[in-house]
Amino acid sequence: MNAVLKKMVKGITVCYSEVFPDPDQNNDYFHLNYIGKLFLIADSYCMNPDCTCQEAVLNFVQAYPKDGTKADSFMIRLKLNGRGYKIHDRGRFSKREIQAIVMYFTADGTFLELFNERYNEMKEKAKEILN
């Protein structure tokens, strides 16, 4: 928890799996298969208990790049009220590609619901750590 506390103090988002690790390490990342590309997605959250940002930072890493090239990734800040996202790092992806991938990933609303639950869990854990 020391590393988590350091990130909290610096105002850096903390990955959900850092705070609530999966003992089997099978569910630390979400998986998305999008038109032949496999992505691993890590979700991070602000742990400042006084902050009301209501956002999740999602890092999409292409797991099996084509032609043996280095894996590529992009990062977004997703609004948990369902009103969009901001791109923080595009990698080699175009804005249009990112838009299509994010729309596909969030289309049915189940992930948005889950991210809201995780956001609340992270805020509660932050309060517990600070007390």
**pLDDT by residue (tens digit) across 102-124?**
999 999 889 999 999 999 999 99
Which pLDDT score is estimated for 130? Answer: 82
Q: How far apart are CA 72 and CA 63, in angstroms?
A: 8
Q: How far apart are CA 46 and CA 115, in angstroms?
A: 12
Q: How far apart are CA 123 and CA 8, in angstroms?
A: 11
Domain range holding 23?
2-130
- Whether the pLDDT of residue 38 is over 70: the answer is yes
Tokens 């791109």 sit on residue: 87
Report how far apart, in Å, the C-alpha atoms of 1 and of each of 4, 18, 122, 125 are: 5, 8, 13, 11
Give the closest residue to 60 by CA, choosing from 87, 82, 35: 87
Which pLDDT score is estimated for 114? Answer: 94
For residues 61 and 75, the answer to whether their CB atoms sit within 8 Å is no
Total number of domains in the chain = 1
Residue type for position 78: L
Q: How far apart are CA 64 and CA 16, in angstroms?
A: 23
> Does 8 or 96 have the greater pLDDT score?
96
**pLDDT by residue (tens digit) across 44-90?**
999 988 888 999 999 999 987 566 667 789 999 999 998 999 999 99
